[in-house]
Structure 1
Amino acid sequence: MVVTGGGTGIGRATARAFAERGDRVLVVGRTAATLAGTAELHPGIRVLVADVTEPDAPDRIADAAVSALGGLDVLVNNAAAMGYRPLAALDRAEAERQLHTNLLAPVLLTRAALPHLAERSGTVVNIGSAGALGLRSWPDNGLYGAAKAGLDFLTRTWAVELAPRGIRVVGLAPGVTDTRADPDPADADPEQAAFLKQIAARTPSGRVARPEEIAWWVVQLTRPEAAYANGLVVPVDGGLSLT
């Protein structure tokens, strides 16, 4: 398994969930310290410090997976970049950062991984966002939402393109998730805490998600019993996208 953006949050929880069922996992991220935290006490986890937007990253990651794991059967495209700002305040550098991380990087990495995934009838899991589903808008976060909606479209398209090669492609659209390492630290960001409280109040389930809950779904979608599921995007957001 390869999990990008594996140093924190959903990526960390996903890597650990795979490792806890006995899988070998390569976690990819930009910061060595956070990757080490993911791997701590999990001997099945290997780490690779890499920025998914770098030109050599796709081949480096695919090669590292084969070298460290002996092959590649699951690719989780989880790395993401968000930046709240309206269109009028969006500069080219920020636009390129978000589009490259959220859309182009998964395209190029999945392409590089294809031969290895085909050898094992592998599965690609694209992590989108429940905020980008359907006909919803997302003021001040349009570029991120557009990239995630594009990733959902690629999930459906790749499912059809790659099925003859034995590769499945599925998507997961998480709702707002509390990715803080400690939900109640003394120096908590009050704006983030207020945002999470606001979203929880709007969500039919009455709370935001925990990273481990999202990771559970990633693991289930890659199980052999899920082999007939292909091209779907599963929203896991406590029902918020239905309101």
Structure 2
Amino acid sequence: MTAVVVTGAGSGIGRAVAHSFADEGANVLAVGRTDSKLAETARNRPEIRTLVADITADGAADRIAEAAAAEFGQIDVLVNNAAVVTRAPLGGIDAKQAREQVETNLVAPLLLTQACLPWLRLSQGTVVNVSTSGAVRGWPMNSVYGASKAGLDFLTRTWAVELAPDGVRVVSVAPGPVETEIAENAGFSPEQIRRLRETQRAKVPLGRIGRPEEIAWWVRTLARPEAGFATGVVLAVDGAASVAM
């Protein structure tokens, strides 16, 4: 049975990814910072186990990898999904918030992938990094977030080459705007979120916001054996927003 680790699994895309794998019969370790949210993710799905952890904490990467290996005896898929975003223009960027974004969005996935690597090599497994399609062009107010996600895509390409001899694949799924709690968690008011969604919809040729389940489908699909020749790819799932003029 496939064993999957998903970070940021307490809500949004991470929860949808955990559900998608579990509903296909995989064992899933859902990692997040809030026990109550993780419990909701695991509700009525015995395939999902939960682990409360701050992925940026010292030793967190080893703790997560060891917990997954102890629970399942293997690690076949690692989904680096957890992320934080704080919008600010250059000149108004808070140093603490900038470090938090880089630590969460870039450094923590690096360390967790490294900690899981011995198990991924044994299973010839797959790493799926969840980035963003917005990082392919200038993105005012999101320079730190976009840079951290562009860095994650660079890791995807580099690790794909490094790990190919071991049979380990590394891919990125790069969502566009998706209906999740990330704006709420970033401190946006309901009115700010409404205006943000209107702006986002206007920039998406398909004319709508994505759903977490749509992103999860691509994460799961790229991790399947049938996708075995795909590695180093960054797949935009954004309603054509990243290619529109």
- Bucket of the pairwise TM-score, normalised by the shorter protein: over 0.9
User: After the TM superposition, which parts of structure 1 deviate over 6 Å for at least 4 consecutive aligned residues?
Assistant: none
Q: Does 1:28 align with 2:54?
A: no
Q: 1:82 is matched with which residue? A: 85
Q: 1:174 is matched with which residue? A: 175
Report how many aligned residue pairs link the two structures: 235
Q: Provide, for residues 35-73 of structure 1, a one-character-per-residue CA deviation record: whole Å limited to 9, x for no partner.
A: 011001111000000000001100000001011122100
Q: 2:207 is matched with which residue? A: 206
Amino acid at match of 2:135: A
Looking at structure 1, the residues matched to 90 and 64 of structure 2 have their Cα atoms a distance apart, in angstroms, of 33
Q: Does 1:17 align with 2:8?
A: no
Q: 2:239 is matched with which residue? A: 238
Looking at structure 1, the residues matched to 234 and 66 of structure 2 have their Cα atoms a distance apart, in angstroms, of 28
Identity of aligned residues (%): 55
Deviation, 1:16, is 0.2
TM-score after normalising by structure 1:
0.94
Q: Does 1:48 align with 2:47?
A: no
In structure 1, the residue corresponding to 2:91 is in which secondary structure? Answer: helix
Unaligned runs of 5+ in 2: 183-188
- 1:3 corresponds to which of 1, 6, 27: 6
Amino acid at match of 1:139: P
Q: 1:223 is matched with which residue? A: 224
TM-score after normalising by structure 2:
0.94
Looking at structure 1, the residues matched to 179 and 198 of structure 2 have their Cα atoms a distance apart, in angstroms, of 10
Q: Provide, for residues 129-169 of structure 1, a one-character-per-residue CA deviation record: whole Å limited to 9, x for no partner.
A: 01002xx1011110000010011011000000011111100
Looking at structure 2, the residues matched to 87 and 43 of structure 1 have their Cα atoms a distance apart, in angstroms, of 46
Looking at structure 2, the residues matched to 190 and 83 of structure 1 have their Cα atoms a distance apart, in angstroms, of 17
Amino acid at match of 1:60: R
In structure 1, the residue corresponding to 2:105 is in which secondary structure? Answer: helix
Looking at structure 1, the residues matched to 231 and 181 of structure 2 have their Cα atoms a distance apart, in angstroms, of 32
Q: Does 1:94 align with 2:97?
A: yes
- Correspondences of 1:150-165 after superposition (within 5 Å): 150-165=151-166
Amino acid at match of 1:147: S
Deviation, 1:180, is 4.9
Q: Provide, for residues 177-228 of structure 1, a one-character-per-residue CA deviation record: whole Å limited to 9, x for no partner.
A: 00159xxxxxx81221221122112211110100000000000000000000
Q: 1:137 is matched with which residue? A: 138
Amino acid at match of 1:171: S
Looking at structure 2, the residues matched to 40 and 231 of structure 1 have their Cα atoms a distance apart, in angstroms, of 34
In structure 1, the residue corresponding to 2:16 is in which secondary structure? Answer: helix
Amino acid at match of 1:48: L
- CA RMSD in angstroms comes to 1.2
In structure 1, the residue corresponding to 2:197 is in which secondary structure? Answer: helix
Unaligned runs of 5+ in 1: 182-187
Deviation, 1:93, is 1.0
Looking at structure 2, the residues matched to 11 and 93 of structure 1 have their Cα atoms a distance apart, in angstroms, of 25
Looking at structure 2, the residues matched to 34 and 205 of structure 1 have their Cα atoms a distance apart, in angstroms, of 31
